[in-house]
Structure formats: C-alpha cells, structure tokens
Amino acid sequence: MSDSTPQPWTGPTPVPVQPPSIHVRAVITWIAIFPLVSLGFLAIAPFSGDWHPVLRALVLTLVVVPLAVYLVVPQLMRAHGAIQRRRPRH
C-alpha cells in the first residue's frame, strides 16, 4: 500500500557547506581584530596617553571584543561562505 497523495515540491536539497578549518577561522578572526584594535588605539590615544597600559587594554577590549564577536567576524564568515559556495568543486 502506497500513499498516492502528491507531496509538495520543496526544491533542490541544499548541499551542506563544511565549516571553515580552524586555520581559516583564525585568519578571519585576525582580519577582524587587527583593524579594530588599530583604529581603537588611534581613537583613544588623544585622551589615554597617561593611562596605565592595562587600563588602556581594558577599555580597548571592552569595545573591540563585542564588535568583533557580534558584528565583524559573523559578516566575514558569511562572506567566506558565499565565496566558498561560488567556487567550483573538483
């Protein structure tokens, strides 16, 4: 006994994309962090010149880490995924 009820067509099954390797993730994270840290240092330099280096690092990381984790790295990972999907497979 088979069910002859037509099933709705859902389109092609998407090909699962492998997550990037740990090395690619490290490079993507560095690409996000380095410019943010550089710009952050330039931004706080005018008023933090006499601060203790640990305080400067604390203030800088309070801004850079959330920006990187919630905004920049996810965007770069999406871009990497889009590039990977467009590349022909061998």
pLDDT (tens digit per residue) in 9-54: 777 776 666 789 999 999 999 999 999 999 999 999 999 999 999 9
| Sign of the dihedral defined by the CA atoms of residues 38, 66, 72, 26, in that order | positive
pLDDT at position 3: 63
List the alpha helices (DSSP H) in 1-71. Answer: 22-48, 53-67
Q: Residues near 24 by Cβ (< 8 Å), separated by ≥ 6?
A: 80
